[in-house]
Amino acid sequence: MKLADPTIPEPLIDRLPLSVAARYPENFAHFVHEEKVIGKEKWTIDLGRSNSLLFDKLFSSMFTDYQVVDDGTDIRDLPIDAYVEPTIDAFEFSVPAQSQTEEFAVWIRYRIKIFDPEGNQIANWPISAYGKSQTTMFGNDEALRRAAVLAMRDAAALVILQMDKATGISKLSAAARATGQPPLSAQGPLTTPDQKILQTKAIEDSNDDPG
């Protein structure tokens, strides 16, 4: 099943004064998860286009200048403050037959890597998000799709609220660099894969717009 655009409300935040480029790796822009539940049918979830749409909206709302570049682009040739690369580390789901409930649940672990204009990695931020949906409100396919969308919205909320605090990306702005602060790359990554993963969760709201 393919997900529709995981619509998120327009973030009510001030944009960071940054020129940012992002690249979406193949396994992010065209992410497909297939799994056969023991004794049950095979499930296929295609997140690819939805991932790109979600992060396009997020980053364009967070930074004063934002663009997506392809694999052949050398970021060192771009007049940018930062380069961002989101990926998916893991995707899991459960169906009612497994959980012995009437719920479909989805877990997604994203990772956002941030680089300075010279290509030095300055942050490696893992994000774990969760969403669930009741089969009593939707059919099985729609309930699973809904749970995946809620998990993606959950990740979006965390990015909006925590990204600068967790990664220090605002320190790459031209104004911050002009103060003579040492490069973030010289201080080492702000987060590592071994550090605690920030996690939130999204629960089905019967009044929520399924968009």
For residue 114, what is the domain's CATH number?
A: 3.30.160.150
Query: What pLDDT score does 144 carry?
Result: 84
Does the pLDDT value for residue 74 go beyond 80? yes
Q: What is the pTM of this model?
A: 0.78
Contact 153, 6 (CB under 8 A): yes
pLDDT (0 to 100) of residue 32: 85
Q: Give the number of residues written for the chain.
A: 211
E-assigned strands of the chain? Answer: 16-22, 32-36, 42-46, 63-68, 82-94, 103-115, 121-134, 198-199
Q: Is residue 82 part of a domain?
A: yes
Determine, yes or no, domain membership for 58.
Answer: yes
CB distance 30 to 48 below 8 Å: yes
Q: What is the C-alpha to C-alpha distance for residues 45 and 52, in angstroms, rounded to an integer?
A: 15
What would the two tokens of residue 92 be? 């899991």
In a domain, 209, yes or no: no
1 domain residue, yes or no: no
Give residues with Cβ within 8 angstroms of 191, minimum separation 6.
123, 124, 125, 126, 166, 167
Q: Which tens digits make up the pLDDT trace of 4-32?
A: 555 666 666 789 999 999 999 988 988 88
d(CA 199, CA 130): 8
Measure the CA–CA gap between 180 and 177, rounded to whole angstroms.
Answer: 6
Q: Is residue 109 part of a domain?
A: yes
Confidence category of residue 65, pLDDT binned at 50, 70, 90: very high
63 domain-assigned: yes
Each residue of 166-181: b (16+ CB within 10 Å) or e?
A: bbbbbbbbeebeeeee
Q: What is the pLDDT of residues 123-144, one digit of tens each?
A: 999 999 999 887 655 557 788 8
Within a domain: 14: no
Q: Would you place residue 66 in the very low, low, confident or very high pLDDT band (cuts 50, 70, 90)? A: very high
Q: Which domain holds residue 87?
A: 19-199
Q: What is the total count of domains within the chain?
A: 1
Taking the CA atoms of 165, 169, 175 and 179 in sequence, report the sign of the dihedral they define.
positive
Q: Does 94 map to a domain?
A: yes
Confidence of residue 199 (pLDDT cuts 50, 70, 90): very low
64 falls in which pLDDT band (50, 70, 90)?
Answer: very high
Query: Does 86 score more than 80 pLDDT?
Result: yes
